[in-house]
Every structure is written in structure tokens, then in C-alpha cells.
């Protein structure tokens, strides 16, 4: 694991991708662990995914970004149905998430370039950090769970604000982000981040 220091050298503030992912994963795993089987077809704020599809997407993301951390080729063309592989999918999600943290905490993971587009590795690491943050909010929101980054998780939000600002034009042109939505009055930094990715921070599950 990377050393944890703030810009002023004080301990306790996560800075490296591995450390930030560790923070995000410690908040993500309980949300996924609390997903009931009866909610798998529920809509999420990410319109192209229901709950099950989004969990499967996150499995794919975690697996492929482990490869990217090691500067290996990735393949996002095939997505397995990990949820259908057995009732222990929640536990397997936690295991895969911890392997992702280890991969991006390895020496050299953030150095150089990685991926088919030869992007800076630190930017690629921030991309998976974004998925493990906003998509977990999607799942929490879809299933009535609370998800409000606070404490050390605010360092994750700060890192991702810069990432989204950098990637937004390309991500919108590729359909990865939706158009930014208006921020609610008095929006928090996290709500501003969600709005910038095309999510309505006030999204509520449809009433059946």
C-alpha cells in the first residue's frame, strides 16, 4: 500500500490511487453486500444498467483494470454474468475489489502509460476509482441505501473532480458520460461530481 500523506505531509489523508481505491472499496463492498436478490431487475440512475447488469459491469471493470495496473492488455468486449455463477457473488465481489486495490497499490502501477490508448497510468487508475464511486452510488440509490462520502472519502471526491473535468469532453462524445445536469442548490462536492457525470443527485427509484 502506498504511504498516506496529505499535501502538507500530514498522515491520514489518502493520496495514491491504491490508497484511494482502498477507501472507495471499503465503502463499496457493504453496499453490494446489502443488495437483496429481489432488487436485481431494479432500475438505477445509470439508465443503461439495471442492478444486476451494473454489478456484472463492475466485475468486468475490476478484472480488466487489474490487468491495466500491471500494464497488460485488457478486453472489455465480453462481459460474463458473474451474478449468475452462484449465490456467493457478493463475497466474490469483495474478493475482486480487494485484488483491484492490491493491483493498483503495487510499485510502479501509477507510472508510465497503460491501455490501448496509451493513457497515463495515473489517469487510468482514476477511471476505475470513478467507477467504484459513482456506480456504487447508483446501486445504493437504486436500493434505498445511504451513500454519502465523508471523512477520508472526501479525498476520493477531490481526486475525481479533477478526473471528470479532464475526461468529460471525450467521455460525453463517446457516450460514457451523459450531459451535465443542473446542480441542486447548495450541492455538496460529491453532488457536483455526480451532476458532472450526467447523474441527477436527486434521482429516486421509480414507484412501482
pLDDT digits (tens, 9 = 90+) for 96-146: 999 999 999 999 999 999 998 899 999 999 999 999 999 999 999 999 999
pLDDT of amino acid 62: 98
pLDDT of amino acid 205: 86
Cell of 114: 497503460
pLDDT of amino acid 208: 64
**Mean of per-residue pLDDT scores for the chain:** 90
pLDDT of amino acid 7: 37
Contact 154, 189 (CB under 8 A): yes
* CA-based torsion, 199, 200, 205, 208: positive or negative: negative
pLDDT of amino acid 14: 62
pLDDT of amino acid 184: 85
Q: Furthest-apart CA pair in the chain: how many Å? A: 51
The percentage of residues in the chain with a pLDDT greater than 70, rounded to a whole number, is 93
DSSP letter at 151 equals T
pLDDT of amino acid 32: 98
pLDDT of amino acid 2: 39
pLDDT of amino acid 78: 81
pLDDT of amino acid 49: 95
The residue ranges of the chain whose pLDDT is under 50 are 1-11
Cell of 89: 457473488
| Residues 32-58: b if buried by 16+ CB within 10 A, e if exposed | beebeeebbebebbbeebbbbbbbbbb
Which residue, among 64, 74, 78, has the nearest Cα to 115 in the 3D structure? Answer: 74
Amino acid at each position: 500500500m502506498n504511504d498516506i500523506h496529505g499535501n502538507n505531509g500530514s498522515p491520514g489523508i489518502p493520496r495514491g490511487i491504491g490508497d484511494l481505491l482502498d477507501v472507495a472499496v471499503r465503502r463499496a463492498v457493504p453496499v453490494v453486500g446489502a443488495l437483496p436478490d429481489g432488487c436485481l431487475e431494479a432500475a438505477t440512475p445509470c439508465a443503461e444498467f439495471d442492478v444486476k447488469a451494473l454489478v456484472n459491469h463492475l466485475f468486468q471493470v475490476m478484472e480488466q483494470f487489474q490487468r491495466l495496473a500491471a500494464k497488460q492488455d485488457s478486453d472489455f468486449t465480453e462481459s460474463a454474468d458473474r451474478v449468475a455463477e452462484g449465490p456467493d457473488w457478493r463475497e466474490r465481489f469483495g474478493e475482486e475489489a480487494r485484488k483491484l486495490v492490491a493491483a493498483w497499490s503495487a510499485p510502479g502501477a501509477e507510472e508510465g502509460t497503460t491501455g490501448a490508448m496509451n493513457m497515463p497510468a495515473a489517469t487510468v487508475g482514476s477511471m476505475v476509482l470513478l467507477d467504484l464511486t459513482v456506480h456504487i452510488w447508483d446501486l445504493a440509490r437504486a436500493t434505498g441505501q445511504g451513500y454519502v462520502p465523508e471523512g477520508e472519502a472526501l479525498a476520493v471526491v477531490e481526486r475525481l473532480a479533477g478526473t471528470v473535468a479532464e475526461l468529460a469532453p471525450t467521455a460525453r462524445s463517446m457516450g460514457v458520460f451523459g450531459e451535465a445536469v443542473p446542480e441542486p442548490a447548495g450541492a455538496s462536492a460529491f453532488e457536483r461530481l455526480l451532476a458532472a457525470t450526467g447523474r441527477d443527485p436527486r434521482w429516486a427509484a421509480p414507484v412501482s
